[in-house]
Amino acid sequence: MDAAAINFKAGYTEPLHLHPMTATHHQQRLYALSQCLLEHQALWRCQPFICSPDWANSQPQLAHTVSQFDDNTLAACQASDQALRQALAHALPSLCAQLESLCEVPETRPPQRRHPPPDIPGRKWQQIELFSHSIKQVSKPLLEWCAGKAHLGRYLAVIHDQPVVSLEIDSALVEEGRNLAARERINLQMRQCDVLADGSTALSPHTHAVALHACGGLHRRLLSAGSDMEVARISWSPCCYHKFIEGEFSPLSDAGRVAGLELRLAEIRGAVRQNTTAGKAERERHHKLQAWKLGFDALQRELRGLDEYLPTPPVSATLAKGSFSDFCKHMAERKQVTLPQNLEFGSYESRGQAAYHRVARQELVRELFRRPLELWLALDEIVFLEEHGYFCELSCFCNDRITPRNLFIDAKRIGR
């Protein structure tokens, strides 16, 4: 897109002016999402876990609505975008309707299910089968990016009768992948490779590259290197957009940079907060640790005499097996906070639980934008490839109960 055709700067929320002869459907959608996200950024840039959001005072109806959600509603909203929009529709009717329209993506019709092989977990097998079905016809040799054990590559090699090269950095996974391919007599070559450093050497104009859930900078590297090499086709499902990104995030596409939506990695992480696949025990452990973090936060504010959030390092799930006092002692040591003798931890644990009850519900307003943010990131990647001579299609290869990271993008080099 011609940047001069767009009258836009960061923070400006008037309708964007697109040149009708140059803007593709995906560019138009990217800018519509940009406008919506900028207009409502006060709702999603805030982090209730760190401090009370401004809307808690400025929008009393919204604050009252989320405060009344019971635990079942909370869990449903955390797991489902549709449930989340429905729950907030009373307080934010026009916004919820707008987001539903902006985030509509067609879902590929699923194939007839096959019985999963014994070496592939059931949900992973569903993802492989449905992702492969979305690819449809294959006419080029396949390159599997960030392959793991090459479960996807082996499946594609069989159903499409094409040779496959699978790239993976972990030597143990490479060895397992080689053994599985040899046992099944599949035409697949497994290579140990750091795709961020050396992956481009495996790409060529005659390659069809595939990537199922290569995280953040890994799949972005595929797109940049693949477009430079004029790879014939790239089929991928993005995942964990914030990972493997060095420094500050920058859009890939010229159109994305012109849109003026500046995103920090913490905000990009919010695009993948939906989790429909976690079991009950995992959810309960997460909730406990979040409440403990908030309890420690109340404690450290008093001890330090500073009413400000103190960022804490990621914690191992094994910490949840101990006590709240053990958790606080661990965090205090890591953050060099001195704990007084005979400290009564029980009151802070109760305060943390009460804070989590409030914060988890306030976070739902922010999470209303998790799918719009994810779609914006995916559209930026799509438009980047369009700017480099590709025709792209966007769909969902499965429903979000199988995986919430269900976007499927198929990019074909024009003229190939």
- Please write the tens of the pLDDT for every residue from 95-138: 999 999 999 999 988 776 777 777 788 889 999 999 999 999 99
Report how far residue 151's alpha carbon sits from residue 234's, in angstroms, rounded to the nearest whole number: 18
List the structure tokens of 356.
């989590």
List C-alpha distances in Å: 64 to 60, 86, 90, 358, 381: 6, 16, 11, 11, 38
Q: Do 39 and 353 contact (CB within 8 A), yes or no? A: no
List the structure tokens of 286.
């997460």
Please identify which residue in the block is written with the tokens 């707008």: 98
- Predicted pLDDT at 76: 93
State the chain's mean pLDDT as an integer.
91
List the structure tokens of 22.
């140059």
19-59 pLDDT, tens digit each: 545 789 999 999 999 999 999 999 999 999 999 999 999 99
Report how far residue 372's alpha carbon sits from residue 53's, in angstroms, rounded to the nearest whole number: 20
β-partners of residue 335 are: none
2 pLDDT tier (thresholds 50, 70, 90)? very low
Name residues whose C-beta falls within 8 Å of residue 181's C-beta, 6 or more positions apart in sequence.
Answer: 150, 154, 188, 190
- Predicted pLDDT at 14: 42
- Predicted pLDDT at 112: 67
Identify the CA nearest to 213 among candidates 270, 148, 264.
148
Report how far residue 363's alpha carbon sits from residue 46's, in angstroms, rounded to the nearest whole number: 9
What average pLDDT score do residues 273-301 get?
A: 89
Residue 250 in 3-state DSSP?
A: coil
414 pLDDT tier (thresholds 50, 70, 90)? very high
Please identify which residue in the block is written with the tokens 């001195």: 338
What average pLDDT score do residues 231-258 get?
A: 95
Name residues whose C-beta falls within 8 Å of residue 101's C-beta, 6 or more positions apart in sequence.
Answer: none
- Predicted pLDDT at 20: 47
85 pLDDT above the threshold of 80: yes
415 pLDDT above the threshold of 60: yes
- Predicted pLDDT at 262: 94
List the structure tokens of 298.
């109340």
78-82, 233-237, 273-277, 401-405 — most confident range: 233-237
What is the identity of the amino acid at 175?
E
